[in-house]
Chains A and B, each alone.
Chain A
Amino acid sequence: MNSKLFYLQRLLGYCLGFVLFYEPFMLFGKLTESFFVETGFTSIHVPCARIPLANILTGEWLASGPTSLFFCLLLAVTSLWFGPLFCGRLCPAGGFSEFLSRLLPDKYKIDWSKYVPILPLRCGFFAGFLFSVILGLGVPCAYCNYYALELFAGFLHTGHLLGASVSLMLTFFVCYIILGLFTKGGRGYCNLLCPVGAMCSAFHVAGSCLPGTFKMQIDKSGCVGCGICANQCPMRAISVKNGKAAIDIRHCIVCGQCAHKCPKHTIKYLSNIQVKEEQQ
C-alpha cells in the first residue's frame, strides 16, 4: 500500500471515531439510543471509559449507565484479544495529537523516551488517576484530552469557545501542544497520561499470554535492524537491540505504522496461532 493511501486510511479511522463520539454527529450515542437504551444526553462522556472505570473502583458502577459500562467492557475485551485498536485506529483525540505533531519538523520535538523511562511514569500516572478517584480527591474528567477536544470541536459548529476557559486552555495546552505538537510521534499524552490507554495496554499485555490473541509481530529472520520502524513509531514502542527490532507491547497501540514503513515487510499484525503456524 502506498503512503498516501495508508495515511488516508488511518485518517478515515480517526474521522470515523470523531463521527462516532463527538458532537454534532455523536453516532455512537444515536445508535445506542435507537437500538439499545436511552442515554439521556449525547456527549463524549457517554462512551468515555474513564467514568465507568472510576465508578467501578468506588463501587458505584451502576451510576455509569449501561452505555458507558458496555463501552468500557468492549474496550477491555477488544484490547485483550486484538490489542488497543481503539487507541491506534479510532481515538480522535490521540489521532489529532499525532497528526498535529506532523506539522513540525522533528528537530523541534522532544523524544521523551530518550530522557525518561516511560513505563514507570505511565504506571505512576495511572496509579495517580486511580488513587485520586479512590480517595475521592478528583473527578475522572481531570486533565481529560477527550473533553478538551470536544470543546474545541464544539467551537467549529457552534462558534462558541466557552470564553476565558482557563482550565480548558491548560488541559488543551498540555495534551495537544506540549505532549502532542512538540513531542516526537505526537503521542506523549497517550504514552504517559491517558488512563484509558493504560487500561487498554494492561489488557493487551494480559491477553498476549492467551492463545489466539493478536499483536504486532516481527519476523526476526527477515529484520535487518535498519531502525526505520523505531523512528516512525508514534508511541516510541520499538527499539533495535543486537541488530533486530523489538516491539514493547506495553506501549504498542497496533496502529500499523511500523508494518507500513518496514522496507522488508517483516512486521505483521498476526495472532499467536498464525505465528506458530508460519514458524512450522
Chain B
Amino acid sequence: MKRNLQKFGLACGAAGSIVLPQAITGTWPQLFASAAPFASGTVPGCTGVCGSCGGSCIAGVGALLWLGCCTYLKKGERP
C-alpha cells in the first residue's frame, strides 16, 4: 500500500513538473523577461514572451529537476 502510494506520488510529481512550470510562466510571462529575446523564434509559436508558448524549455528543465530530486532521495534511502 505504502509502495503504491509512493509510486502514485512519484507520478503526480512528474505530472506536476511538466504542468507547473508551464502554468507559472504562462501566468507571469515577465518572470523570465530577460531570456525572451534569446528564446524568441527558437520553438514553434514562440512570441518572445516567456510562457506564452507554453514554456517549452522550462518544462524540460522541470522534468529533469524532478528526476534528479527523486534519484537523490532514493539514493539516500539506500543502505
Choose among A127, A135, A143 the residue that contacts B11 (Cβ–Cβ < 8 A): A127
Taking a contact as CB atoms under 8 Å apart, the answer to whether A165 and B56 are in contact is: no
Taking a contact as CB atoms under 8 Å apart, the answer to whether B10 and A124 are in contact is: yes
**Size of B's binding interface in residues, CB under 8 A:** 39
Complex Cα distance, B66 from A179, in Å, reads 13
Taking a contact as CB atoms under 8 Å apart, the answer to whether A124 and B13 are in contact is: yes
Choose among A116, A144, A193 the residue that contacts B71 (Cβ–Cβ < 8 A): A116
Taking a contact as CB atoms under 8 Å apart, the answer to whether A128 and B15 are in contact is: yes
Taking a contact as CB atoms under 8 Å apart, the answer to whether A115 and B38 are in contact is: no
Taking a contact as CB atoms under 8 Å apart, the answer to whether B7 and A120 are in contact is: yes
Q: B44 contacts the other chain (Cβ, under 8 Å)?
A: yes
Contacts of A168 in B (CB 8 A): 42-43
Contacts of B22 in A (CB 8 A): 132, 137-138, 142
Taking a contact as CB atoms under 8 Å apart, the answer to whether A147 and B43 are in contact is: yes
Within the complex, the shortest CB–CB distance from A207 to chain B, in Å, comes to 23
Taking a contact as CB atoms under 8 Å apart, the answer to whether A128 and B67 are in contact is: no
Q: A274 contacts the other chain (Cβ, under 8 Å)?
A: no
Instruction: Decide yes or no: A165 and B38 within 8 Å by CB, A128-B18, A178-B64 being known contacts.
Output: yes
Say what secondary structure dominates the interface of chain A: helix
Complex Cα distance, B74 from A116, in Å, reads 7
Say what secondary structure dominates the interface of chain B: helix
Taking a contact as CB atoms under 8 Å apart, the answer to whether B60 and A131 are in contact is: no
Complex Cα distance, B11 from A128, in Å, reads 9
Taking a contact as CB atoms under 8 Å apart, the answer to whether A143 and B60 are in contact is: yes
**Size of A's binding interface in residues, CB under 8 A:** 42
Contacts of A45 in B (CB 8 A): 44
Complex Cα distance, B8 from A119, in Å, reads 10
Q: A87 contacts the other chain (Cβ, under 8 Å)?
A: no
Taking a contact as CB atoms under 8 Å apart, the answer to whether B10 and A117 are in contact is: yes
Taking a contact as CB atoms under 8 Å apart, the answer to whether A121 and B19 are in contact is: no
Taking a contact as CB atoms under 8 Å apart, the answer to whether A138 and B55 are in contact is: yes
Contacts of B42 in A (CB 8 A): 151, 162, 165-168
Within the complex, the shortest CB–CB distance from B25 to chain A, in Å, comes to 9
* CB-CB nearest in chain A for B64: A174
Taking a contact as CB atoms under 8 Å apart, the answer to whether B54 and A124 are in contact is: no
Choose among A115, A151, A165 the residue that contacts B75 (Cβ–Cβ < 8 A): A115
* Apart from A120-B14, A162-B41, 7 more pairs, CB < 8 Å: A123-B11, A125-B14, A139-B54, A141-B54, A143-B57, A143-B63, A174-B60
- A–B pairs, 13, beta carbons within 8 Å: A117-B10, A122-B14, A124-B12, A124-B13, A131-B18, A138-B56, A138-B59, A139-B54, A142-B56, A147-B43, A165-B42, A166-B38, A174-B63
